[in-house]
Structure 1
Amino acid sequence: MPDVRITYDKTADAAYVHFTDPRDEVHSARMYPCDPVDVDGMINLDFDERGRLIGIEVLAARSKLPEYVIESAERLDPEPPHSG
């Protein structure tokens, strides 16, 4: 099973699940927002020009995703330096 790339931005509390090869430069041609009332937040599905699902954006990610997913995601925001 292929690895799925997940990125997370703590400042925005947004996660993105990528379904594309990291070597490919793929852009979203169409975004389908899921009803925020039904999911108690915002989840967007991104599709390429051929109609293939390329990723899922999850806003308010800490309240929607398991903690282990957030903790293992690639960080997009700069992490503060560790005090020692």
Structure 2
Amino acid sequence: MHIEYDRENDVAYVSLVEHIADGAAVRQVTVETPGGGADLNLDFDEAGLLLGIEVVGAHAGLPEELLLPAPHPDR
């Protein structure tokens, strides 16, 4: 598992696999967190396996201890 966090946009991505190839995520399901503070975009592959989770509004949807050490996606 790997977490990247874009502080400027408050968006985190939690990869559940080592590498997600371009085009591998063929289905996305969006879920709103209880209380509506964040949206979770679940990325699935063709076989239905969960590859990763994009968290829009990460401060409302993830614990701070996960976000603080997370690298920015451009680094």
CA distance in 1, matches of 2:2, 2:33: 27
Which structure shows the bigger proportion of residues in helix conformation? Answer: 1
Cα offsets for 1:2-38 (capped at 9, x unmatched): xx1001111210001101113x62531000011x374
For residue 52 of structure 1, the aligned residue among 46, 49, 54 is: 49
Instruction: Return the TM-score normalized by structure 1.
Output: 0.73
| Alignment equivalent of 1:68, drawn from 52, 65, 68 | 65
Paired with 1:37 and 1:8, the residues of 2 have a C-alpha distance of 18
Which sections of structure 2, spanning at least 5 residues, go unmatched? none
Identity of aligned residues (%): 36
TM-score (norm 2): 0.81
Instruction: Read off the aligned partner of 2:8 and give its amino acid letter.
Output: T
Instruction: Pick the structure with greater CA Rg.
Output: 1
C-alpha displacement at 1:44, in angstroms?
Answer: 1.1
Alignment size in residue pairs: 73
Give structure 1 regions of 4+ aligned residues with deviation exceeding 4 angstroms.
Answer: none
- Is there any run of 5+ residues in structure 1 with no aligned partner, and where? 79-84
**RMSD, aligned CA:** 2.0
